[in-house]
Structure 1
């Protein structure tokens, strides 16, 4: 995978004077069925989240409230995406290292995942992740 496959997805936004509504449908707005949803909140100032990659799992990451930065790395290239709108989702395919930081006050990070939790799907050591990406590139 390449960081160029990470992309911002504009989600539907239904504007209403009583408040806006955004919805997400698996296999419609995102290319997978949603198997797990979780969210990060009350992240202390200066803290980082993430620091891993997934072997198979894909994610859609949304700043439901506030803002934060997502640093993406495919083992060769890096880029940073700033999320701050509840109708923008960042699609992160498998084999992309991600770190999340710069959380604003009261930020809420919502994550929709293509798979249920499985510790065996994680790369938690960056050097091991890079070795795996290099091996995949050699076998292609």
Structure 2
């Protein structure tokens, strides 16, 4: 039997945007906008032109990625198909469930990515080899 795509679980989620002539405000809350308990937040910045970040999957960790400044593309891959999301606004983010290969590329100058995740850091949770990722997906 052919396995179905898991990319349907990847979701672009709009965040509240409060407009004000003094400057706009957006926010996120766990279980409301982000569908998990937030255990870690990190950010990626000063990415040199042409560099790729990510290039891995997680066994358990879920993520929510926001382009706080500038823009970049997030390529998601479930082992059967790929999809590219261009993030360029700070009032929406990309939810990526566990078991999805992802990489970030095409960073604009001075872009900043903020990532909230469902777990604390664990190197054992990472799948950094694509062939190992495919084996992991086929065993599910």
- Is TM more than 0.5 here? yes
Tell me by how many angstroms 1:98 deviates: 0.3
Distance 2:132 2:103 in 1: 16
The CA RMSD over aligned residues, in Å, is 0.8
Aligned residue pairs total: 136
**39, 43, 51: which is aligned to 1:35?**
39
Question: Is 2:138 aligned against 1:134?
Answer: yes
Q: Which residue of 1 aligns with 2:63?
A: 59
Between the aligned partners of 2:108 and 2:11, the Cα distance in structure 1 is 22
Partner of 1:90: 94
Give per-residue Cα distances to partners, 1:103-136, cap 9 Å, x unaligned: 0010000000000000111100000000110111
Q: Shift in Å at residue 78 of structure 1? A: 0.6
Give the unaligned 5+ runs of structure 1: none
TM-score by length of 1: 0.95
Aligned twin of 1:77: 81
* Structure 2 residue ranges without an equivalent (≥5): none
Q: Counterparts of 1:118 and 1:45 in 2: how far apart (Å)? A: 28
TM-score, scaled relative to structure 2: 0.95
User: Once the 2 structures are TM-superposed, how far is the Cα of residue 97 of structure 1 from its aligned partner?
Assistant: 0.3
